[in-house]
Amino acid sequence: MNPLQMINDQIKSALKAGDKTRLDSLRYLMSQLQNAQINKGRNNELTQVEFQQIVKKIIKNSEEAIEQYRQGNRSDLVESESAKLDVLKELIPQPLSDEEIKSLIEQVRSQQPEIQVGPLIGQVIKLSGGRADGQTVARLAASLSQ
């Protein structure tokens, strides 16, 4: 299913349920998806990977905002932003565990024993389908190479 259509369907169900937090989060996401669609071109649809990248970017921005709100002692804003963050996290696949990432690192190293850390991280992220965080892969790759 097209990501835009999926989000639109979820917006409709949130409207019917009267879930304001979910509705606000999904509307913001929809606007970001439509902006990306416009930038890509009318006849080109967003892929699932592009959709996930957009959602992850919004999640990262929300996490940074939550941290800022905590530093400013704004617990009301922390709560509302956390609720929006929970809605967005439902839309992306669960990230891989450390053990799954380690097995992917070992798989790539077994195929290419002389590979450097940078290209290794890129290949592991590509193999994971974007479900592995670059920082986590880098940390685990460094710990396994010692």
Q: Are residues 12 and 64 in the same domain?
A: yes
> Do residues 82 and 114 both lie within one domain?
no
Q: Which of 45, 60, 40, 58 is nearest to 5 (CA)?
A: 45
As for how many domains the chain has, the answer is 2
Cα angle for residues 79, 83, 88 (degrees, 5° grid): 145
Question: Is there a single domain that holds both residue 7 and residue 78?
Answer: yes
Please list the pLDDT of the chain residue by residue as tens digits (146 residues): 688 888 999 999 999 999 999 999 999 999 999 999 888 887 788 888 788 889 989 999 999 999 999 999 999 999 999 999 999 999 888 888 888 888 888 888 888 888 888 888 888 888 887 788 788 888 888 887 76
- What's the CATH code of the domain at 49? 1.10.1510.10
Q: Which domain holds residue 56?
A: 3-89
